[in-house]
Structure formats: C-alpha cells, structure tokens
Amino acid sequence: MKVAFIAPAYPPEQRDFTRGLAEVGAQVIGVGDGHEGALPEMVRNALSRYIRIPRLFDEDAAAPEIAAALRPLGVDRVESNWEPTVLLAARVRELLGVPGMSYDACVGFRDKQTMKERIKAAGLRVPHSHRVRSASEALEAAQEIGYPVIIKPISGAGSADTFRCHSEAELKEALRQTQHVAEASVEEFVDGDEYTYDTVCIDGRPHFENVAQYFPRPLTFRSEQWISPAQVVYRDIYDRPELAGGIELGRKVLSALGMGTGFTHMEWYRKRDGEVVFGEIGCRNGGGHFVDMMNWSNDFDIYREWARAVCHKRFEAKAQRLYHVGMVFKRAQGQGRIVHIDGLNEVRALCGKWLVADEILPVGSPRRDWKQTLISDGFLAFRHPDIRAVHTMMNAAIRDLRLYAAQ
C-alpha cells in the first residue's frame, strides 16, 4: 500500500498521522512545500519518499505537478488532513484515478455555503445564510436575515476572520477588516452552547464517535484576550441526553454530504430550548489537540486507527471511554517575554496523577500571538472518570493560573 500524504509535518498533529500510516504498513510518500531536510526526524523516519511542491497552495498548478510526480510510483491513496489541502488531495486523486472522496464531495465539506445548502436540502436545521462577494451583498443579506449575524469566509478554518455583528455599523467594520476575503457567508447567529461531533468513518459509516464542548464558544474566546479557552471531551456521550440530538444530527450530516473514509470534525449548537443546529464540518481532524484528547480519553492511538481505516478499511481499537478530558489554554497578560507565572505549582498539585499534559511556556519565552493560535502561551490537560473532578481542575486552571509578560 503506497499512500501519498499531503502536508505530512504541519500542522504538528499531522506528524503523528504520518507515523500512523507507516505503522500500519504503508509506504508513505510525503508531499509538502518545505525542504526535506527541515522535516522533523519522526516524519523523515516514517516517509519512504518526499516530493517538494513549492507552490502547494496554487491548486491549479500544484495538482498536475503532484500527479505527474506520483504517477510513476503507482500510489494507492492520496490523503490530507489539513483543511487548506483537502481539495488539493481530492483533485490529485481524480487525476490519478485512485480511490477516495470525489472533489465534489470534498467541496461540500470545504465551501461553507454549499455545505449548508446540501445539509438543508436533506431536511436538517442549519443557520439561515447567504453567500456574498461584496459589501453591498453582505449588507443586503444581513438586512434579510436580521441582526445579529455572523460573517465568515466561505473557505475558512476555525474562527479566523469570523465576526459577530449586532448592527450595520459593526458589519461595515467587519467588512473593512476582511477586505482580503473574496467570498464570505453571512448567516444567522445561533445563541447556544457549542459542541463538536468527531468521527473516523469507513465508507461513510462512523466507526468511532466523539463529542466535545467548548467553554466558552470559539467566537467569544477568539474575540477577548482575557479569556482562557477551555474544552472538554466527554467519555459517556451515549448517556448524556443533551448530546443525543447532536449525535443524530452529525450522522445525518455525514450521509447528506456523502462522507467516505477518514476523519471528520463537526461543530453544532444546542439552544436553550433544546433545538439542535448545525454549525460547520470538515473532512479532517479538529485542531487544538482534540485528537490527543480522544487518545487520553480512550487509552488508544487514533492516529494509527485513522491510518488503518484509510489503508485497510478497518478500525481495530476499542473505544474504552475511560475518562473525561479537559484542556485549558492560557494567555499571558502584557507583551514581550514571559516574566512571571502564578499558580502553576498549585494547579499541578491539584491535578496530581490526572495531569496528562503540561505545556505552559516557561519564564523567558516570547509570548505568542493569541489571535493566530489557539494554543496561545501553552496549555494544561487533565483527565478523570468523574466529570465533576474535570470541571474542578479546569476551573482552577482558568481562575488561579496566571502568566505575565513584559518587554
């Protein structure tokens, strides 16, 4: 089995997907825009060959170039789990005639307006929305939908260039800040709690399901620097009545969009009245260490199981669902380098053996741009069979752990 894997080293979790492919017996051919010598050792060890494509993000140019390089090698699969290269992988598959999701199917997971239209056509609840290509179209759409509205890029990922607007004046300001966005979606703002529905599918059927919740919802924590974003992966997803509607919605969305084999990451809302509303979905894994959280929850290696699904149409690990897992991302106060940290030892002591990751930046490190990375200035992760214990650790990390930076 020869698998071409586009973007084998970035984002960082892709390194473990590359490792997983090698561990299930695949000959892995990496395709990226960087130099081979700059690849991490773990990635180099997993690859049988590397093809550098400098213009990786010019799909029209990159797809035939990749196909020409791969054709003599007789590859069996072409895969990517990075949002910006999902469509590129699909186009290369079609040029080579290898199995996998079609380009049109992947468009439904990438183009946010097409996505919602296809899901709505299946009778599922989606936010009311319009595709817009100009400021005048955006203002007209908002007037029809009614404020507040959300404006986001058609082909965006995460919450980048996404704004909640309560008035025409706020929308005009958002449009000013997103002049570089060619196409956007203006949609109804759904007020409710935000969750994920994640799967590894084989031929459209989920062989593993995961549900997580954001605290608070991403649109809020992407807008306010003082917030410590947090997220929880639940272990008992089939025993929580408040999650049942989202799981059912997620399964129907997969069917409506024609999911094939691979990872999916969906976001959905639960309103105060219990109504469940679709948010968006990608045919790739979620970022923000969600994959690691699934591993910590189940004590398995889902990187390897994804690879087994892609290569052999099997998912062999058992989802033990032993632990709820929480993660808190911290943002330093001030600019420059980290000069002081309060409360870290106390939070570590509270978590004890349940602490599974401690990635807080040490004193002396330059702080990161919180608007560009959810990881911000580091994170703590912890797990426990009792959700109350997870919330206790999460609240302590949010409340008592403080990082300070100075020039």
Could you report the per-residue pLDDT of 284-341, keeping only the tens digit for each? Answer: 999 999 999 999 999 999 999 999 999 999 999 999 999 999 999 999 999 999 999 9
- Reply yes or no on whether the pLDDT at 225 is more than 80: yes
Q: Say if residues 281 and 266 touch (Cβ distance below 8 Å).
A: yes
Mean pLDDT computed over every residue of the chain: 95
**Reduced to 3 states, what is the DSSP secondary structure of residue 286?**
coil
- Cα separation, 340 vs 361, in Å, equals 11
- Cα separation, 284 vs 294, in Å, equals 15
Let me know how long the chain is: 407
| Residue 157: per-residue pLDDT | 62
160 band by pLDDT with thresholds 50, 70 and 90: confident
Rounded average pLDDT over 71-90: 97
Buried b / exposed e across 209-243, counting CB within 10 Å, b at 16+? Answer: bbbbbbbebbbebbeeeebbbbbbbbbebeeeeeb
- Cα separation, 226 vs 216, in Å, equals 12
Q: Which of 3-17, 58-72, 97-111, 157-171 has the lowest mean pLDDT?
A: 157-171
**Reduced to 3 states, what is the DSSP secondary structure of residue 22?**
helix
Q: Say if residues 22 and 43 touch (Cβ distance below 8 Å).
A: no
| Residue 371: per-residue pLDDT | 83
DSSP conformational letter for 365: P
Comparison of pLDDT for 194 and 153, the residue scoring more: 194
159 band by pLDDT with thresholds 50, 70 and 90: low
Task: Please return the burial class of 14, using the count of CB atoms within 10 Å of its CB with bins 0-12, 13-18 and 19+.
Answer: buried
Q: Say if residues 278 and 261 touch (Cβ distance below 8 Å).
A: no
- Reply yes or no on whether the pLDDT at 158 is more than 60: no
222 band by pLDDT with thresholds 50, 70 and 90: confident
Phi, psi for 355 (deg, rounded to 5): -75, 120
- Reply yes or no on whether the pLDDT at 170 is more than 60: yes
| Residue 156: per-residue pLDDT | 64
- Cα separation, 5 vs 158, in Å, equals 22
Closest C-alpha to 261, from 28, 57, 93, 67: 93
- Cα separation, 198 vs 212, in Å, equals 8
Comparison of pLDDT for 407 and 155, the residue scoring more: 407
| Two tokens, residue 346 | 């106390």
Domains of the chain: 2-100 (3.40.50.20), 128-188 (3.30.1490.20), 192-406 (3.30.470.20)
- Reply yes or no on whether the pLDDT at 55 is more than 80: yes
| Two tokens, residue 402 | 């403080």
Tokens 């969906």 identify what position?
266
| Residue 179: per-residue pLDDT | 85
- Cα separation, 116 vs 138, in Å, equals 17
Mind giving me the DSSP string for 24-66? TT-EEEEEESS-GGGS-HHHHHHEEEEEE-TTTT-HHHHHHHH
- Cα separation, 185 vs 187, in Å, equals 6
Amino acid at 160: A
373 band by pLDDT with thresholds 50, 70 and 90: confident
342 band by pLDDT with thresholds 50, 70 and 90: very high
Closest C-alpha to 127, from 269, 287, 340: 269
Cα Rg for the chain, rounded, in angstroms? 21
Where are any strands of DSSP class E within 68-224?
A: 77-79, 129-132, 149-153, 163-165, 184-188, 192-202, 205-215
Rounded average pLDDT over 47-62: 97
